[in-house]
Structure 1
Amino acid sequence: MNLMQKIWDAAKSDKKKIVLPEGNEERTIVAAEKINRLGLAHPILIGNKEEIINKGHALDVDLSQVEIIDPAESENLEKYITAFYELRKNKGITLEKAEKIVKDPLYFATMMVKLDDADGMVSGAVHTTGDLLRPGLQIIKTAPGVSVVSSFFIMEVPNSSYGEDGLLLFADCAVNPMPNEDQLAAIAIATAETAKRLCNMDPKVAMLSFSTKGSADHEVVDKVRNATKKANELRPDLDIDGELQLDASIVEKVANQKAPGSKVAGKANVLVFPDLQAGNIGYKLVQRFANAKAIGPVCQGFAKPINDLSRGCSSDDIIDVVALTAVQAQNIK
């Protein structure tokens, strides 16, 4: 059984309400019907009800069992406006501005999650990551003890022995353009915890660089080296090592030469990239050249689960991220 089948089974065991603010988007409509039919979650589409139903008919998709909410007609609109105003009034938001903002499907959906009318949210088929992060950081905010929101991809590489039989987590590939040492350490720790809780993995975290254990000197290498030290000081119970080049991280023969004695080198299943450019390029290279399945980006660090999609996603990608979001919601204490 592959990882996503396990995620699907877990999602079905305790169905959660997952809101989809891009309710009139075709891939989202197709995904919502299938999510409902498979019993992965209770999907909620946000948007003009007539428009969504008409698109469903055109796509030959039966939405009769899928909940659709139009923000302008919702009985909860005033409640959400008032709650958003209270959250943001110290930032200069008036009730009039709050009403205009909350009618936006992304903000409306985020307020649903904030006030427990939904358990999680998935967006990004047509919106950017920034569009998702703004209401997320303003309304949901970070979980207690978490200093930075980040993201990861689950990479399933066919016919590969790297990671755990081709299964690896890549972070951060979507959120933080240039993390500092503290942020990079936090990303490493968060992704290790995600690997344990969501993927049932024993995390071996490699802090990636173009240098391995002092083979090169540069300020960008120093950042990775210092972040590794900080991560180990904060969480000595986790196996986090760096700085490591990619080959030293995943190839045992190379690791024995470059980083002998490391608990991570040659065995890494979590790869933490030094910045967003490297992470984004890295996951897309593996996805395209190795024909890997890239699931995500999935956010970590929010107090409640809200997750992003690639704008190039398929309806099947949306289904997988909704299932992941549902399982994340199950883990919220």
Structure 2
Amino acid sequence: MKKKNRWLIMLDKLNMTIEEQTGRIDKAIVEEFADFSRSQIQQWLKDGFVTVNGEVVKSNYKVKAGDEIEIIRQAPVELKIEAEDIPLEIVYEDDDVVVVNKPQGMVVHPSAGHASGTMVNALLFHIKNLSSINDVVRPGIVHRIDKDTSGLLMVAKNDEAHESLSKQLKDKTVVRRYVALVHGEIPHEKGTVDAPIGRSKINRQSQAVIEGGKPAVTHFKVLEKFEDFTLIECQLETGRTHQIRVHMQYIKYPIAGDPLYGPRKTLPGTGQYLHAKSLGFVHPKTGEELYFEADLPENFQEILKTLNK
């Protein structure tokens, strides 16, 4: 089994241990940690903020198994995360877990471009306790969905629950089913896309199916066919960034409304017609199997009615 590089993330320092050969150091870092751009890593290398085994290296350095990489980052801009009285649809809540139905258009957690109005800001208002594993910017956040993808997310209220849910994601035991409207009429009733995903070499803001990318598997089945469109259900076996969007584009059935991976302005609305409809996991404390479903948002239902006509 292919080993993964190990990361320890801190506020101003990041340590990485290479456990296998991964080529240039800038490429190795950026492919493993998608929140950084390659140009940002190259600038840090140029400024001497990156060392390998205690020595400053250039961006063309080829990493080797056993290399200890350390990045001393400049102090990040401090984000003041405030609780905000934003409506939030809480599907389920107990002392350990919260399940939220996130609306389309809402960012999951604050970032430099989204300091407020996020799901985390809303959670801080509605929920008393959240896990601390993912620092002050992402309290309770176990997994994410894109801003313009709607649907179900599980949130941890304490660190023990967070560790359990994260392990279930890693072990691929969490049930995650999505409903998507895609361009084209898929001729068969079901299929599987097994294609590795990594950062695109053409557009660094997007992901793509690339050689040497991380393993990614998406299963899908056809729910309904329309003229020039197909409604499908997708089940994730892995959870790569933009996985369903990338895989459906790869097999030439891009998701309708997707501004990054599909034709633009073919249907009314903003953002992709992709909804995280089903979520199932084992309760971290009781061991009970929990399963939830969320109806398609109104704009999604309306576009299906229009296509039916």
- TM class by shorter chain equals under 0.3
Larger RCO, structure (CA 8 Å, separation 6 or more): 1
> TM-score normalised to the size of structure 2?
0.28
> TM-score normalised to the size of structure 1?
0.26
Task: Write 1 or 2 for the structure with the bigger share of helix.
Answer: 1
Task: Write 1 or 2 for the structure with the bigger share of strand.
Answer: 2
